[in-house]
Amino acid sequence: MMQDLINYFLSYPEVLKKLKNREACLIGFSSNETETIIKAYNDYHLSSPTTREWDG
C-alpha cells in the first residue's frame, strides 16, 4: 500500500503539495492520519536508498 502511495505522489506532485499544506486529506483518512502518512512518506523519501525498505 505505501509503495502505491509513493508512486502516486511521484506521479502527482501537486496532490502531495496540497496534502503537505493541509489543503486536502486522503479519502478515508482523517487529517491527522493523512499527516502521519505524509510524515512517513517524507521520512522514507529523505532516507538513504539502502534503508528504504517497508515491513508491509
Mean pLDDT by 10 residues, the chain (56 residues): 81 90 89 89 73 56
Which residues have C-beta within 8 Å of that of residue 6, sequence separation ≥ 6? 41, 44, 45
Task: Residue 9: name the closest of 29, 39, 53, 32 by CA.
Answer: 39
Q: Would you state the pLDDT for residue 7?
A: 85
Residue bearing cell 499527516: 35
pTM, two decimal places: 0.64
The grid coordinates of residue 42 equal 517524507
